Each structure stands twice: as C-alpha cells, then as structure tokens.
Amino acid sequence: MSPAGIVRIVGDILCEHFPRMTRYVRFCSCQLNAAITLQKLTETNPAFCEVTKRCQSDSRIKGLPLSSFLIKPMQRITKYPLLVQKILEHTPNSHPDRIHLEEAHAKAEEICLQVNEGVREKENSDRLEWLQTHVNSEGLSERLIFNSLTNSLGSRKFLHYGSLSKTKSGKELVGFLMNDMLLLVKPVKPAILSGQSFSFDKFLGDSFKIYKQPFLLMLLNIADSVTDSVEFRIDYDNIPILLSSPSINERNLWLKKLNEAKQILIASEKNQKQLMESKKADFGACGRVLVFVMDGRKLQTPKFGKKAVFCEVSMGSRKQCTPVNESPDPKWDSSMQFLVKDIQDDILCVTVYNKGHYSPDEFLGRSEIRVSEIIQSTKNSRGPLTKHLQLREVQTGVITLKLDLCLFDTN
C-alpha cells in the first residue's frame, strides 16, 4: 500500500487465497440437488417456509431469499477469472504485480474448471442413479449397473436423453444415450407420457422398463436421413430401427450426439489397437512360442449373466485373445504366437474371463507357465507340449494348452 493509502499489489493476496476456495468445489457440485430440495421443502413444509420468511424479514438479509445465498458462492467463484482479467488489462507488463496477477488468473480459472467438472460429474452420477432406481432391467442376459465402469471406456458417462417414438407404431419411448450404449425404455403405465417431453424431475415417481436390449454403440450404425423430417434410422446388428423425435431440431441433436459418441468410441478402440501393435514390435527376440488354446473344463460359473468365456494370453505387455465361447466346457482351438525376449524371465500368462457387455469382463481365474519350464519339459522329447493348467484365485477350472517353442540361432 502506498503512503496515500492506495493498494498497488493484490496479486500475491489472490494467489494465497484462491487455492483455499477448492473446498467450494463440492458445495457447487451439489447446487442442483440443493435447489430441488429447497423447492420441495418450500412446497411441502409450512414450518420451513415460516422460518425462511422470518429470516428474510431481517434487515441484514435485505429481502433476499434463501436461494440467493445458496447460489452466491458459485456466482462469485465463476466471476473471479473475469475480475482478475480486468485488472490485468489495466496492469502494465512492467508492473511488479503483473506476474502475481497472471498466476492468480490461472489459479482462478483452474478453480472454475474444477467446479464445472464437479457439477458435470455430480449430474452424471445422479442421472445414472435415477436410471438404476426407475428402470427395470430384468430379463437381460447380463446384470446392468448404470453407475459403474463400462467394458472398455472407463466410467459410464451420460450424454443425452429425450422423448422418442417408434415411427410405424407410434409407441412412445424415452432414449438415454451413454458413452457405450443407447438405451430405449417405455413407461410401465403407457399413458404417463402422452406426448410430453421427458425430464428427470417430471417423472420422478414413475417407473420404466427396457424396451429392447441396450444397443452397444460399437455395433450401432447411424443411417443418413432426410434433413426435413423428424424421423431417423439406426441399424443394430443389421436390423433397422426407425425412430421419430418430437421436432426436426431434436432429431438433428440426436443424430449429432449419436455420431459424436460413436466417433469417440472408434477413436478409443483405434488407440488401444495401435498401442497393442506397438507392443508387438520386434525387440531383439531370441525365440518364439506358438500357443494353441484348446479347451477349458470345470470353469467357475459366472456371477452375472450367461456364460460367454474367452482366454486372454499374454507375455509381458503383449496380449492376444481367443474368441468368445458360450458352451459349458468351451473348446476354442485358437492359435497365437509370442516372441521370446528372455528365456529365463519370460512368463506366459493365461487369464480366463466371462465377456461383459455393460461392465468389465468377469475374472474366472488365471494360470501361467515359464518359458524355461517349457524348455525343460521338451528337453527329451520332440513336438509340441500339451499342458493342463489349473486356474488360480478361483475354486475350479482347468485350461488345456498346446505349446511349441522355437529358439532362434543367435550365431
């Protein structure tokens, strides 16, 4: 502060205090729930209304309702980047406070990003929990937990929702788009929609049931459609499904969201394949092992869904999988090859999974065999080695492999 009482440097103070505001991230994340709870109490609890009116009449409150105070922290936090930016616009580059203000601006923007992400995550979680409590998913081949991990994309994300109808029959549906699937549901009481647009609050007391098995985005194709129509077509497993939106704008938004979700999924799958291919590169191998995955016996029964078993075979960071087999005692007869880098340290690992469509694959046991053990077992014999591997970390299960090891001549 100058002798005249003018504050010339504030950036350092802001830098010190902005990190302390991260405690408001959770407060702001609950903003929507707070507003809904306040509305409900105002409409149903006379005693609560009486208390809020008495508080509002206090001169210190200046007539503001409780809702204004609940939203005040979020309003102020989101204004800080703008306020600091305004100060920066009037602060010369040579001013001693310039570097502190730039740091303060970055910290303020970071808090805003955290608040916005927190709000999105809370809203995403609340909507997935709404589906879990309001949508009956009985009859599916696999248990469906909405607020959980997907099979390959990490946490499930809620992307879009809205009222839809079957184009030919006019049957009213509600669509929910997530980052791994499209879900169509119908109300248990058919008359409750009656052409209304869907919202989570409006149908809080109603129940729905799944109209068709969820459409996995990887198997879903979005067909081109006429731009001046409310109709659009999706193809799932080569079966066309004609849907209609309430308006052309809503139809266009559905197509946009579906295509964006599909592109993100394709990009993720592509990145995973590129990563796997990069791990297959020749790294100065001293041999190769040909693995023939024959069959499995007495495998553990999956906890959720029907049996759809496959084996993941790995050596180090390199992985290959058998096809999925749905029989009780699966026969894969699947071959794959791995390069050997170190005959003493390399280990061939076999992990058995039950395929999950709406959740991560279910673990059904694992086993392993060292390359050095293969060498030792074939020292006095010719031809492939047949091994019956007992699965570990589970109560039952045996996998049969046929192994053919070839060491390269390094001379």
Q: CA–CA separation, 180 vs 188, rounded Å? A: 25
Instruction: Give the strand pairing for 231-236 and 220-222.
Output: antiparallel
Is the residue at 369 inside a domain?
Answer: yes
Which of 218, 244, 277 terminates a domain? The answer is 277
Q: What does the pLDDT read at residue 3?
A: 52
Q: What does the pLDDT read at residue 174?
A: 93
Q: Identify whether residues 18 and 102 lie together within a single domain.
A: yes
Is the residue at 147 inside a domain?
Answer: no
Q: Hey, what are 192's tokens?
A: 């409750």
Dihedral sign from CA coordinates of 141, 147, 148, 152: positive
Q: CA–CA separation, 153 vs 155, rounded Å? A: 6
Whether 290 contacts 337, CB under 8 Å: yes
Q: What does the pLDDT read at residue 1?
A: 46
Residue 353, φ and ψ in degrees, nearest 5: -130, 155
Rg (CA), the chain: 30
Q: What does the pLDDT read at residue 278?
A: 61
Residue 111's alpha-carbon distances to 86, 141, 411, in angstroms, are 18, 43, 62
Which range marks the domain in which residue 370 is found? Answer: 287-407
Domain containing residue 30: CATH number: 1.20.900.10
Helix axes 66-89, 46-56, angle to 10 degrees: 50
Q: Identify whether residues 319 and 268 lie together within a single domain.
A: no
Q: What does the pLDDT read at residue 411?
A: 56
Q: Identify whether residues 225 and 338 lie together within a single domain.
A: no
Domain containing residue 336: CATH number: 2.60.40.150
Dihedral sign from CA coordinates of 186, 192, 195, 200: negative
Q: Identify whether residues 18 and 129 lie together within a single domain.
A: yes
What is the domain count for the chain? 3
Whether 224 contacts 264, CB under 8 Å: no
Whether 1 contacts 90, CB under 8 Å: no
Residue 91's alpha-carbon distances to 17, 87, 108, 300, in angstroms, are 20, 6, 17, 69
Q: What does the pLDDT read at residue 2?
A: 47
Is the residue at 152 inside a domain?
Answer: no
Q: Identify whether residues 273 and 217 lie together within a single domain.
A: yes
Q: Identify whether residues 308 and 367 lie together within a single domain.
A: yes
Is the residue at 272 inside a domain?
Answer: yes
Q: What is the pTM of this model?
A: 0.66
Q: Identify whether residues 18 and 119 lie together within a single domain.
A: yes
Is the residue at 316 inside a domain?
Answer: yes
3-class SS shares of the chain: helix, strand, coil, % to 5:
35, 30, 35
Domain containing residue 245: CATH number: 2.30.29.30
Residue 367's alpha-carbon distances to 54, 302, 360, 388, 390, in angstroms, are 70, 18, 20, 10, 7
Q: Identify whether residues 264 and 303 lie together within a single domain.
A: no
Q: Identify whether residues 391 and 294 lie together within a single domain.
A: yes
Is the residue at 139 inside a domain?
Answer: no
Q: Hey, what are 136's tokens?
A: 């009956």
Is the residue at 150 inside a domain?
Answer: no
Q: What does the pLDDT read at residue 209?
A: 92
Element (H, E) at 178: strand 172-178
Q: Identify whether residues 113 and 219 lie together within a single domain.
A: no
Tens of each residue's pLDDT in the chain, 411 residues: 445 556 667 888 888 888 888 778 778 877 777 888 888 898 899 999 999 888 988 888 888 888 888 888 888 888 999 999 999 999 998 888 888 899 989 988 988 888 888 788 888 888 888 999 999 988 887 888 888 888 878 889 999 999 999 988 889 999 999 999 999 999 888 767 777 788 888 888 889 999 988 999 988 998 876 667 889 999 988 889 999 999 999 999 999 999 999 999 888 888 877 766 665 555 567 889 999 999 999 999 888 778 899 999 998 778 899 999 988 889 999 999 998 888 888 899 999 999 988 888 889 999 999 999 998 888 877 778 999 999 999 999 999 999 999 888 755
Residues 6 or more apart whose CB falls under 8 angstroms from that of 115 comprise: 24, 25, 28, 29, 74, 77, 78
Whether 232 contacts 251, CB under 8 Å: yes
Q: What does the pLDDT read at residue 410?
A: 59
Which of 83, 98, 133 terminates a domain? The answer is 133
Is the residue at 1 inside a domain?
Answer: no
